Chain A
Amino acid sequence: SYELTQSPAVSVSPGQTASITCSGDKLGDKYVSWYQQKPGQSPVLVIYQDTKRPSGIPERFTGSNSGNTATLTISGTQPMDEADYYCQVWASSTSVFGGGTRLTVL
């Protein structure tokens, strides 16, 4: 079965750039989506089709995907961006989530 791997935690200072990675075999051949989840809330889609932002998602959220790694980059990170982030793909008729990365802004 397909697997996605994320680092458990990333820390960043306010105003700096945070990079959250997601790795999987030939991940660059698949479409990656990213979700933000704050405590007690449902996940929110922040990136789809590797690089696209849904309406209402700030421009500081960008995505890339190549080779075996997809990256979610948050530029000018704000305290409100502190959350868990999950990558996800649809592969071989199954939906797969990464284990999640907790982003701490301090």
Chain B
Amino acid sequence: EVQLVESGGGLVQPGGSLRLSCAASGFTFGTYEIHWVRQVTGKGLEWVSAIASAGDTYYPVSVKGRFTVSRETAKNSFYLQMNSLTAGDTAVYYCARHRYSYGYDRWGQGTMVTVSS
């Protein structure tokens, strides 16, 4: 069974850093990308990063230079390092499996990040 499990969320002060983890199981990473998508409470979905099987990474302008996505292949784990956090980064963060034209076919349960003093 395909599973994605996020962890690492919590409360962090403005300007601080946090690293989220996504543990993947039940599939071979080779044909998929892993993306991070966030959602502010009561708002829509916002894409924040992607890592392809070849290791290429992608970011929207809103987080480029502050967020870094990486992977640890041996552990089938993916990470989102978030730096210089602001209140605007407060959201539920999901990791999701993606393949071009097939969309996001599996999502994790999400992990909450709160940026507040």
Assess the A90–B44 pair: CB atoms within 8 A.
no
Q: B67 near A: Cβ within 8 Å?
A: no
The residues in A between 57 and 106 inclusive whose CB is less than 8 angstroms from any CB of B are 84, 86, 88, 90, 93-100
Assess the B58–A94 pair: CB atoms within 8 A.
yes
Is chain B's binding surface mostly helix, strand, loop or mixed? strand
Q: A28 near B: Cβ within 8 Å?
A: no
Beyond A42-B108, A93-B58, whether A86 also contacts B45 by CB under 8 A is yes
Give every chain A residue within 8 A of B105 (Cβ-Cβ).
Answer: 45, 48, 54
Assess the B107–A95 pair: CB atoms within 8 A.
no
Q: A21 near B: Cβ within 8 Å?
A: no
Is chain A's binding surface mostly helix, strand, loop or mixed? strand
Beyond A94-B47, A95-B98, whether A42 also contacts B103 by CB under 8 A is no
Residue of A42, A44, A96 near B47 (CB, 8 A) is A96
Assess the A88–B103 pair: CB atoms within 8 A.
yes
Q: What residues of chain B have their CB less than 8 Å away from a CB belonging to chain A?
A: 35, 37, 44-47, 50, 58, 60-61, 94, 96, 98, 100-105, 107-110
Cα(A42)–Cα(B95), bound, Å = 10
How many chain A residues touch B (Cβ–Cβ < 8 Å)?
A: 25
Assess the B107–A42 pair: CB atoms within 8 A.
yes
Q: A14 near B: Cβ within 8 Å?
A: no
| Shortest Cβ distance from residue A74 to the other chain B in the assembled complex, whole angstroms | 18
Assess the A95–B108 pair: CB atoms within 8 A.
no
Q: A23 near B: Cβ within 8 Å?
A: no
